[in-house]
Amino acid sequence: MMNKYLLGTLCTLALVSTGILSTSAAPAPGIELPPLTQPPSTEAHPGKVIWADLVTPDLKQAEDFYAGLFGWSFQPAEGDRNFAVATVDGRPIAGIVQRSMSGDHKRQPAWLPFIAVRDVGAAQRSVKANGGKVLSPQRDYPMRGRQEVFSDPDGAVFAVLASSSGDPPDVLAEPGEWIWSSVLVKNPDREAGFYRALFGYEIFDQDSEDSRKHVILASDDYARAGIHALPDASHRHPHWLNFVRVEDVGVAAAKAVHLGGKILVDPRPDRQGGQIAVVADPSGAPVGLMEWADTADQSDAPGAMAPGTPQVPGATPTPGTQPAESP
Amino acid sequence: MSAPAGCRMMLRISAAALLAAGLGACAVEGGGYDRSNVGVGVGVGYGGDYYEPGGYEYGNWGPGYRVGPPCCGHDRGHDQGRPAPSIPSHPRAGGGGHGNSGHAGGGGHGGADQGGGHH
């Protein structure tokens, strides 16, 4: 005898499933995100981290923390009062959105980096063809562009963004701005291949004083991110870690604690010659702190590269590789 | 034993709804929800409610574990035989400004690029 309760459950499941899928297919969210660059530029820098979002259960707490730590200002995004856009000197650099964690204590907030692409559809195909996963449907924001969230073969989550206003210029990050990104993974070699196929990166092995694999990903002849083997003793899920430039890592780390955060990795010297540290905001989201010597002599060698990095269209591909977003 | 007609009808409706849902899932690439142990949901208005797996102790970075970018081009790429490049170094103000590259002003960066043509 068919149990009527079972039938009812099936009906409910079917309707709920249909509702969820309808929601995820929504092409035009009712939120207006500001353009990445204003006025619009024609620059395109595939592989460059150009934005970051944080989903947090307490927007006000996050605003207070990041304003106090980095001097960020905030303005609400149109169409969603739970979404704030962080700016530095009027330039939008990040988004913070408040969403409930639904009592799931096995999860924690984390910054989600957005990496520049020309074609989100091509990026998606590359992700799927090279062992990654699609985690959310493509989204179009009128002034921002098209974006999509993926995970790499190791499970580290990132997003891609085809900016409708061009990509931000390649300039030295100022204090308070994102300066660097790393992805800490279990299989750096496989990951390097994945990201190379997706963004057309050049791959540079790094000398290291430990026995771990460290790789630099470069595009436009600039270092864009690092891939690092997770420390053996770490049980951390593979993840992206994004760094903000600060004047003094020690001072910033202490300030983070004063603001309700905590230190995850104590200040320590790194390969760039300055200190780095990792702190967690009050909700637990890790964020890196990095010093960078503001000296012109560490750069600007004549003839390094012709002025003007790849414009739209026609990026310079890595030798022997073809970035996913190229036709 | 057989289900009453009403129940059979409900079952058909349920099956049809599930089939429609399944087809919808195929139409929406990626499905939109948790394909891994990472929470990426679809919120109202914002398409990327991202939470990481939690409960892990962070850190355990041993001595020599370095995650920053090279600054002076002393690390060599194994393919190109030339140093890894560094991050953009041109300042925003006076360096070409918006809409131009960090290479503007005769720049580039290079400590990183000696010895290697660009691509």
| Domains delineated in chain A | 49-101+108-166+173-293 (3.10.180.10)
Nearest-by-CA chain A residue for B105 = A307
DSSP notation for A200-263: --EEEE---SSSS-EEEEEETTEEEEEEEEPPTT--PPPEEEEEEE-S-HHHHHHHHHHTT-EE
Number of domains in chain B: 1
B37 within a domain of the structure (yes/no): no
Q: Collect contacts of A72-79 with beta carbons under 8 A, ≥24 apart.
A: A72/A176, A77/A31, A77/A32, A77/A33, A77/A34, A78/A31, A78/A32, A79/A29, A79/A30, A79/A31, A79/A32, A79/B45
Interface-testing mutation among A18, A37, A135, A279, with chain B (most B C-beta atoms within 10 A): A135
Query: What is this structure's pTM?
Result: 0.75
Interface-testing mutation among A136, A148, A244, with chain B (most B C-beta atoms within 10 A): A136
B5 within a domain of the structure (yes/no): no
**What's residue A40's pLDDT?**
93
CB contact under 8 A, B90 and A299: yes
Closest CB to A134 among B29, B37, B65: B29
> At residue B107, what is the residue type?
G
More confident residue, A193 or B82: A193
Closest CB to B84 among A37, A206, A294: A206
Distance from CA of B5 to the nearest CA of A (A): 11
B84 within a domain of the structure (yes/no): yes
> At residue A324, what is the residue type?
A
B99/A contact by beta carbon, under 8 A: yes
**What's residue A103's pLDDT?**
61
**What's residue A236's pLDDT?**
79
Q: CA–CA separation, A269 vs B64, rounded Å? A: 9
CB contact under 8 A, A42 and B99: yes
Q: CA–CA separation, B72 vs A270, rounded Å? A: 13
Q: What are phi and psi of A43, to 5 degrees?
A: -75, 145
First to last CA, chain A: 58
B23 within a domain of the structure (yes/no): no
Distance from CA of B94 to the nearest CA of A (A): 11
Query: How confident is residue B10, by pLDDT bands cut at 50, 70 and 90?
Result: low
**What's residue A285's pLDDT?**
95
**The tokens of B60 are what?**
């355990």
**What's residue A71's pLDDT?**
98
Distance from CA of A68 to the nearest CA of B (A): 23
CB contact under 8 A, A4 and B53: no
**What's residue A201's pLDDT?**
98
B82 within a domain of the structure (yes/no): yes
pLDDT tens track, chain A, 327 positions: 445 555 455 444 444 443 333 333 334 457 888 999 999 999 999 999 999 999 999 999 999 999 999 999 999 988 888 899 999 999 999 999 998 876 666 778 999 999 999 999 999 999 999 999 999 889 899 899 999 999 999 999 999 999 999 999 999 999 999 999 999 999 999 999 999 999 999 999 988 788 889 999 999 999 999 999 998 766 778 999 999 999 999 999 999 999 999 999 999 999 878 899 999 999 999 999 999 987 644 443 333 333 333 333 333 333 334 455 443
**What's residue B21's pLDDT?**
44
> At residue A60, what is the residue type?
K
**What's residue A309's pLDDT?**
35
Cβ contacts from A onto B, under 8 A: 413
Closest CB to B88 among A166, A170, A290: A170
Helical H runs in chain B?
5-27
Q: Are strands A145-151 and A133-134 parallel, antiparallel or unpaired?
A: antiparallel
**The tokens of A223 are what?**
């270092």
Distance from CA of A92 to the nearest CA of B (A): 14
B63 within a domain of the structure (yes/no): no
Report yes or no: B65 and A234 within 8 Å, Cβ to Cβ: no
**Secondary-structure percent of chain A, ordered helix, strand, coil, rounded to 5:** 20, 35, 45
Which ipTM value was assigned to this complex?
0.79
More confident residue, B46 or B68: B68
Closest CB to B21 among A17, A149, A239: A17
CB contact under 8 A, B92 and A169: yes
Nearest-by-CA chain B residue for A155 = B36
Nearest-by-CA chain A residue for B45 = A29
Closest CB to B50 among A110, A172, A301: A110
**What's residue B41's pLDDT?**
53
Contacting residues for A156 by C-beta, under 8 A, at least 6 apart: A183, A184, A185, A191, A237, A238, A239, A240
B48 within a domain of the structure (yes/no): no
Residues in chain A with CB shorter than 8 Å from the CB of B29 are 124, 134, 137-138
**The tokens of A228 are what?**
């690092």
Q: Classify burial at A121, counting beta carbons within 10 Å of its beta carbon; exposed 0-12, middle 13-18, buried 19 or more.
A: middle
B119 within a domain of the structure (yes/no): yes
The helix-helix angle for B5-27 and A4-24 (nearest 10°) equals 20
Residue carrying structure tokens 């600039």: A222
Please report, to the nearest 10 degrees, the dihedral formed by the alpha carbons of residues A47, A49, A51, A57 taken in order.
120
**What's residue B20's pLDDT?**
46
Contacting residues for A186 by C-beta, under 8 A, at least 6 apart: A154, A229, A230, A238
What is the span of the domain harbouring residue B104?
Answer: 69-119
Beta strands across the sheet bearing B49-53: A107-109, B49-53, B39-41
Closest CB to A182 among B30, B67, B92: B67
Chain B window 1-20: which residues touch A at a Cβ cutoff of 8 Å? 1, 3-4, 7-8, 10-11, 13-15, 17-18, 20
Contacting residues for A311 by C-beta, under 8 A, at least 6 apart: A42, A43, A44
**What's residue A295's pLDDT?**
60
CB contact under 8 A, A223 and B87: yes
Q: CA–CA separation, A16 vs A13, rounded Å? A: 5
**What's residue B118's pLDDT?**
33
Report yes or no: A117 and A324 within 8 Å, Cβ to Cβ: yes
Q: Classify burial at A211, counting beta carbons within 10 Å of its beta carbon; exposed 0-12, middle 13-18, buried 19 or more.
A: exposed
